[in-house]
Amino acid sequence: MVTRAVMDKALLEATAAALVASGKGILAADESNGTMTKRLEGAGIESSEEARRAYRANLFATPGCESAVSGVILYDETIRQNMDDGTSIPDYLNSRGMLPGIKVDTGTIDFDGCPGEKVTKGIEAEPENGWADLGTRCAEYFEMGARFAKWRAVIQIEGREKPSNACMSANAEALARYAAICQENGLVPIIEPEVLMEGSHNYLECFVATMTMFQKTFEECKVQGVHLAGTLLKPNMIIGGNGYRGAEQTRDDVAASTVICLTHFVPHDVGGIVFLSGGQSDEEATDHLNRMNSMSGVYSEHPWELSYSYGRALQAAALKAWAEEGAEASQAAFAHRAKMNSLARSGDWDISLE
C-alpha cells in the first residue's frame, strides 16, 4: 500500500527534478517591495504596486522564456497579482510550464550578542507586520498555486570574529525548520545559506565559511527530518570578497573550488543545485556556471544538476531596457540572458554569443 507520506515525498522529488530540468533554471523575481522600489527608482521609474506588477508581468510574458525558466520565485505582493489580461500570476506561470514559487522569509534582524551579524526571521507570526506564522502562510501559498519556496540566510565574513559559530548555528537551525515546515505543506524548500561577497576576505576564507554552513545546515536538516531529495540548495559560489586585494582568483579557480566544496560537504541526495549570482556581473555568473558544467574528470563526479536561480543576473539588463526603451526591449534583454544561462547548463555557452 502506498502511504500519503510516500506520495508526498514522490511529489516533492518530482517538483525538485522539474525545477532543475535540462537546460532550465529559476528566475528569482522575489525582491521585497523595498528592494524593488530601489531598483525601479535607480532606473528612473517611480515605484508603486502597479509599477512593480507591470514590470514583472511583462517579464513573465516574454515569448519562449519557458524553454530556459523552470520556475519563478515570487514575493507575497506578486503572487496575489494578475497579468494584464486578469489571469492570476500563478495560473499564468503554470499555463506556460513555469512553476510558481514564493519567498517566505521576512528578512533579517540583528543577532543578539554578535554585533554586525544577522539571523533570518519568518517562522513565527509577526502580527505587527501582517505576517502569519510560516506553516499558515505555506498552506495558503500552496492553495494559491505555489509549489516551492525560498528562505535566505546571510553570512558575513569579517576578520577572525565573523562569522561566529553561534550565528551560523542559528541560521542553520532556522533553514532546517523552514525546510521541514515547507515540506509538511507540499512545498519544495530552496535552502539558501549565502556567504556574502562584501568584504576583504580571500576565496579560501569563503570556502571555509561556506563549507561550515553546509555542514551545520544539513546536520540540522537531519534532526528536523527534512527529505533531502525533495529540496534544492541555493549556494553562493566560492569567490573572494569584493574588497580583496591579493592574488587574482581566476574563473577556473571559482568553478573548481565551488564544485569541490559542494562535492565534499553537501549530501549527495539533495535534489539539485541552483546557484545564486550575488555580487557577480551578468556575464560572470553565466561564465562561472558554464565552466562548472564543462568540467571533466574528478570535477564532474558529482550527482547533481548544476543550475541557476538568478535575480539581477537575469533581470538587470531587462530592467534597464524597461526604463529606457519599453516592454519589447525589456523582454528581448531578458530572453537573451535566459538563453545564455540555458546554454551554460550544458557547458555550451561562449563569450562570442554575448
45 within some domain: yes
pLDDT for residue 3 is more than 90:
no
Contact 270, 228 (CB under 8 A): yes
C-alpha cell of residue 163: 562569522
Q: Which residues contact 186 (CB under 8 A, 6 or more apart)?
A: 8, 11, 12, 142, 147
25 within some domain: yes
Which amino acids are annotated catalytic? 192, 234
Strands 118-120, 108-110: pairing is antiparallel
Q: How far is CA 214 from CA 80, 173, 175, 277, 326, in A?
A: 33, 12, 11, 18, 42
Least confident of 61-65, 78-82, 188-192, 297-301: 297-301
352 within some domain: no
Long-range contacts made by residues 347-351, C-beta under 8 angstroms, separation at least 24? 347/290, 347/291, 347/293, 347/294, 348/290, 349/286, 349/287, 349/289, 349/290, 351/283, 351/287
Q: What is the pLDDT of residues 153-172, one digit of tens each?
A: 999 999 888 999 999 999 99
- Mean pLDDT estimate for the chain: 96
Q: Would you tell me how many other CB atoms lie within 10 Å of the CB of residue 269?
A: 13
158 within some domain: yes
Q: How many domains does the chain have?
A: 1
- pLDDT tier for residue 137 given thresholds of 50, 70 and 90: very high
351 within some domain: no
Q: What is the pLDDT of residue 186?
A: 96
pLDDT for residue 7 is more than 70:
no
CATH number at residue 214: 3.20.20.70
- pTM, to two decimals: 0.96
C-alpha cell of residue 213: 554552513
* Mean pLDDT calculated for residue range 95-113: 97
Q: What is the pLDDT of residue 1?
A: 45
Q: What is the pLDDT of residues 22-58, one digit of tens each?
A: 999 999 999 999 999 999 999 999 999 999 999 999 9
Give residue 284's domain range.
4-346
Q: What is the pLDDT of residue 6?
A: 54
Burial of 210 (0-12, 13-18, 19+ CB in 10 A): buried
182 within some domain: yes
172 within some domain: yes
Place of cell 544561462: 341
pLDDT for residue 278 is more than 90:
no
Maximum CA extent, the chain: 61
